[in-house]
Structure 1
Amino acid sequence: MQTFDEGRVVGDVVLYEAQQFYSRGTGTVAQGAGATHDIGTVLGRVTATEALVPYDPDASNGAEKVAGVLISRVDATAAAVTDAILIERHARVKRHALVWGAGVATEAERTAGVKALRAIGIITDV
């Protein structure tokens, strides 16, 4: 018998979001080598292009500010993905389910990212 791996789903990350998709937004995930992002990836937004990239506290292009949490699986390896869905506001997510980019290497950086999420209205469980 074949087995299938369903992968992550929104319910693996999101505990609560406001009705009628108020918590959600859309954006373009920037193209790049290895730009495959799973549900739960914490994103920043490049100021010059408005493109979404993994949050990186050491960046200086806008990606150092949290923009939201990705809730659609995207593969931007070959081309930018223009219809990515993310949680941008008024929501609660599971902290252990968040996916951090390569620029977030320490617990202190993850804690700073969680505080930045809180600042835009996305709270986490403990």
Structure 2
Amino acid sequence: MDSTVSMTTDIKAIICLTLNRRKIMTNRKFEEQYAKLNHEFHTYKRKLEESKRAFREIQKELSTTNESLEDESEMTAKFTEAAMAAHKTLREVANNMHRIDREMTLLGRKMMMKIHKDQIEREEKYQ
């Protein structure tokens, strides 16, 4: 997931460089796609933190619970169900983060190809 964060930063830097220096005509499609992926990335990042927090609460409550044996089995079943739901969410988030990483990589490559193509066109124009 760290690679996704760095990829997001790299793509953002490329777009900012492009916008700030006006070296190429910006493509609104790239900007919109980046904004969509960035929003989705942060949504899943929040979901990940919520799942981790829920899992920590379950562990904490299990360690501090001093109930009778009957209540303990009910609590264990309840916590097991909650832990499985948190695990499912984490797995879903991980899969989506990998998908976003692939899409960000593809977007970065497309943007670099456009920059390169525009640079070649500019050089041909001046020759």
Normalising by the smaller structure, the TM-score range is under 0.3
TM-score with structure 1 setting the length: 0.23
Greater relative CO (CA pairs within 8 A, separation 6+): 2
Larger Rg: 2
Determine which structure has the larger strand proportion and give its number: 1
Determine which structure has the larger helix proportion and give its number: 2
TM-score with structure 2 setting the length: 0.23
